[in-house]
A and B are shown apart, each in its own frame.
Chain A
Amino acid sequence: SQQGEEDPQALSIQEGENATMNCSYKTSINNLQWYRQNSGRGLVHLILIRSNEREKHSGRLRVTLDTSKKSSSLLITASRAADTASYFCATGSKEGNRKFTFGMGTQVRVKL
C-alpha cells in the first residue's frame, strides 16, 4: 500500500479560489514533499517540509505538517488555470533519503 495517501482524489474549483488537498502517511518520516504533474509529463518538485517544521510557504503555496497526526496539507491560493494538474505528496524515510513513497495523487481542475 502507498505510504502517502492524498485526499481528495479529485478537486474542481473556479479560477481565483483556493485549493486544499491533504496527505496522510503511516510511518515516521524525515521530510515530506509535494510534487505537481501535468498530464502525462514528469513530476515537478514544489516544496519540501522537514519533520521538525510545521508550516512553509512558497509563492502561492502553503504547506503544513502535523507529525502527531501523520498528515500534511497543501494549499494553493488564488488558483489559476495553469494550476490544473495532479498533485502528489512523497515521504522521505528516516533511513536516509534513499526511498521516496508517493501517493496516488489529487487531480485538480481549475475552471475559467
Chain B
Amino acid sequence: DSGVTQTPKHLITATGQRVTLRCSPRSGDLSVYWYQQSLDQGLQFLIQYYNGEERAKGNILERFSAQQFPDLHSELNLSSLELGDSALYFCASSDRTSQETQYFGPGTRLLVL
C-alpha cells in the first residue's frame, strides 16, 4: 500500500459524459501527478500540481482539467468523453523534499461505452 488513494476504482460511462476522478496523496506529500495508461500509448504524464498550483503539464487534452485543493487532494475532470478515453488513470505523489520518487495509487479504470 503506497498511501495514495484513488476513487472510484472502476467507472463505466457513455460517450459525451463527464466524470471526476479523485486522488488523495500520501500524508505530507505536496505534489500530485496524474497519468493515463492505455494499451497503445503506455503511461502518459498528464499534469502535476504542487501545493495547489499547477507545476507541469504533459499530454493533457483540453477536454480534461485538474485541480488540487487546500487539503491537497486532487481531482481530474474528464468531459465530452470519447471511446478512446477508456484507460487506467493513475495518480501519484512525491515527497516534499526531494520529489524524486513517485508513489502511485491503485488507479481508476475508466470504460467509455
Contacts and interface: CB of A to CB of B under 8 A. Distances in A.
Interface stretch (A13-21, A42-50, A60-68, A70-78): A42-50
A44 B43 contact: no
Interface stretch (B11-19, B62-70, B72-80, B93-101): B93-101
Contacts, number: 61
A47 to B, nearest CB: 10
A40 interface: yes
Mostly, the A contact residues are strand
A48 B98 CA distance: 12
B28 interface: no
B33 A42 contact: no
A97 B94 contact: yes
Mostly, the B contact residues are strand
A98 B88 CA distance: 22
Interface residues of A, number: 24
Contact of A100 (B2, B42, B50, B102): B102
A42 B90 contact: yes
Contacts of B55: 98
10 contacts: A2-B42, A33-B101, A33-B102, A35-B102, A44-B2, A44-B104, A48-B101, A88-B43, A98-B50, A100-B102
